[in-house]
């Protein structure tokens, strides 16, 4: 049995943050009804790589869902929305501030329609505070949540991360909140409003940087390779430093291409074995006992020397060869995996994290798999829906509408865009 079998979700979200959340819940077995306007989710046509087909942007975020098209600007469309609210356990949206309210559906109104329903909302900056009316995108959230100021090298510009921590990270936070609220609703019979702001989610993911921010009021940060001092205020950008109690950095390997790197963590427990293996090949046979690096305190002070020697050692090894040398020494390390590396990796394929699917418009394509593995209910990934593919199915099987009612509502424009006016 699927973990969320029997849970029905009315998904009004679009683009990335919300669909990330609802797709994960769908993979856990929830019946996710993607409630789309007649023009569909905007990402169906964004960055399209196959003419007249849903884009990878859309298909990779909307698997295992049913699509229903409803025109909420008609009274009939609003009635379909109300009827679905009564049949769903969760409703989720990520509209701009005030959009649902202008349609007449405040949280209070939705709660009145179905007191047990849980409403999930994603906003850039939340529904309160001086930033609440601002628009947010992935990189804006990273900028304002603390990620960019702490990412990059000290003398260079701040960088965004390639991981979508503003959008997809917010979706993950929302999933946790929805499941908690759903559990409470099953106990109390009362739903609640669950809000996640993108800026807040990024701040949560930057928690260790706020740890360091407070440490700087009392001391310098010995594990940083860049200079720090008590009272400096801002946590600095520190390149590829590990940011933890153990030293870590990326080591460049042959043939020294863009992704020919191995990330290495130099734990105190492995230093002796690592130094004895590396030292003789870099002209420092007594490296393990060298007073400049013999203790963790000295290695922190002189970590640039550690990285220089390890980079010299790596000059004649590929990242995989160096990994094979370090693993038997219990040195935590991992190659910098490119997208091509991951798409062809045996480990990734074996864990169903690169999954082939078929789509009626675009043919064969791949999606990233389900990262959460449930032993009793493994995810079965199905393709994303075509626009409005399940409209009639949902109206009949969920709402119990008959053919005559559906036909009348179609005639009234409940499921289509109004005809364009011809200029006189």
Ordered per-residue pLDDT tens for the chain, 424 residues: 799 999 999 999 999 999 999 999 999 999 999 999 999 999 999 999 999 999 999 999 999 999 999 999 999 999 999 999 999 999 999 998 888 999 999 999 999 999 999 999 999 999 999 999 999 999 999 999 999 999 999 889 999 999 999 999 999 999 999 999 999 999 999 999 999 999 999 999 999 999 999 999 999 998 898 999 999 999 999 999 987 778 999 999 999 999 999 999 999 999 999 999 999 999 999 999 999 999 999 999 999 999 999 999 999 999 999 999 999 999 999 999 999 999 999 999 999 999 999 999 999 999 999 999 999 999 999 999 999 999 999 999 999 999 999 999 999 999 998 777 655 5
pLDDT at 421: 66
Residues linked to residue 91 through DSSP beta bridges, in sequence order: 10, 119
Taking every pair of Cα atoms in the chain, the longest distance, rounded to a whole number of angstroms, is 90
330 to 221, 261, 410: CA distances (angstroms): 26, 18, 66
pLDDT at 418: 78
Please provide the size of the chain in residues.
424
> What DSSP line would sit under 137-175, residue for residue?
-HHHHHHHTTTGGGSS-TTS-----SS-TTTHHHHHHHH
Q: Which of 167, 212, 241, 260 is catalytic?
A: 167
DSSP annotation of 206: T
User: How does strand 8-11 pair with strand 90-93?
Assistant: parallel
The pTM of this model reads 0.94
- The CA distance from 231 to 211, in Å, is 14
> What DSSP line would sit under 55-90, residue for residue?
-HHHHTT-TTEEEEE--TTSHHHHHHHHHHHHH-SE
Edge-to-edge strand list for the sheet holding 118-123: 65-69, 31-36, 8-11, 90-93, 118-123, 193-197
The CA angle 114-117-119, to the nearest 5 degrees, is 120
Q: Which two tokens stand for residue 199?
A: 């800026």
- The CA distance from 70 to 82, in Å, is 12
Active site residue 167: yes
pLDDT at 194: 98
Upstream peptide bond of 135 is cis (omega within 30 degrees of 0): no
**Residues with Cβ within 8 Å of residue 308, at least 6 apart in sequence:** none
């Amino acid at each position: 049995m699927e973990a969320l079998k029997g849970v029905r979700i009315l998904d009004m979200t679009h683009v990335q943050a919300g669909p990330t959340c609802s797709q994960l819940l769908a993979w856990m077995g929830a019946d996710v009804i993607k409630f789309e306007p007649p023009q569909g989710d905007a990402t169906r046509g964004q960055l399209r790589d196959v003419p007249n087909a849903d884009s990878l942007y859309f298909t990779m975020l909307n698997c295992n869902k049913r699509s229903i098209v409803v025109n909420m600007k008609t009274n009939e469309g609003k009635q379909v929305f109300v009827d679905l609210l009564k049949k769903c356990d969760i409703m989720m949206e990520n509209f701009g501030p005030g959009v649902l309210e202008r349609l007449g559906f405040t949280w209070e109104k939705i709660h009145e329609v179905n007191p047990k329903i849980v409403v999930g909302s994603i906003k850039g900056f939340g529904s309160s505070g001086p930033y609440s009316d601002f628009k947010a995108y992935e990189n804006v959230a990273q900028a304002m949540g603390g990620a960019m100021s702490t990412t990059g090298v000290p003398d260079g510009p701040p960088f965004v991360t390639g991981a979508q921590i503003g959008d997809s990270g917010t979706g993950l936070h929302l999933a946790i909140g929805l499941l908690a609220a759903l559990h409470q609703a099953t106990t109390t019979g009362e739903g609640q409003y669950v809000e996640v702001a993108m800026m807040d989610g990024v701040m949560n993911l930057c928690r260790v940087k706020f740890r360091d921010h407070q440490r700087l009021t009392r001391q310098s940060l010995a594990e940083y390779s860049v200079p720090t001092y008590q009272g400096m205020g801002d946590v600095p950008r520190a390149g590829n430093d590990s940011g933890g109690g153990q030293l870590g950095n990326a080591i460049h390997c042959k043939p020294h291409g863009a992704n020919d790197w191995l990330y290495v963590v130099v734990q105190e427990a492995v230093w002796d074995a690592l130094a004895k293996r590396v030292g003789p090949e870099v002209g420092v046979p007594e490296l393990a006992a060298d007073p400049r690096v013999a203790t963790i305190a000295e290695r922190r002070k002189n970590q640039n020397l550690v990285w220089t020697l390890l980079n010299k050692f790596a000059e004649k090894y590929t990242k995989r060869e160096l990994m094979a040398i370090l693993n038997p020494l219990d040195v935590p390390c991992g190659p910098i995996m490119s997208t091509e590396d991951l798409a062809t990796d045996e480990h990734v394929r074996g864990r169903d994290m690169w999954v082939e699917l078929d789509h009626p418009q675009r043919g064969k394509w791949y999606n990233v798999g389900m990262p959460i593995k449930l032993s009793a209910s493994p995810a079965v990934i199905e393709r994303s829906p075509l626009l409005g593919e399940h409209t009639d199915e949902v109206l009949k099987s969920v709402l119990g509408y008959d053919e005559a009612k559906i036909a009348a509502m179609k005639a009234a424009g409940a499921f289509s865009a109004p005809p364009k006016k011809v200029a006189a």
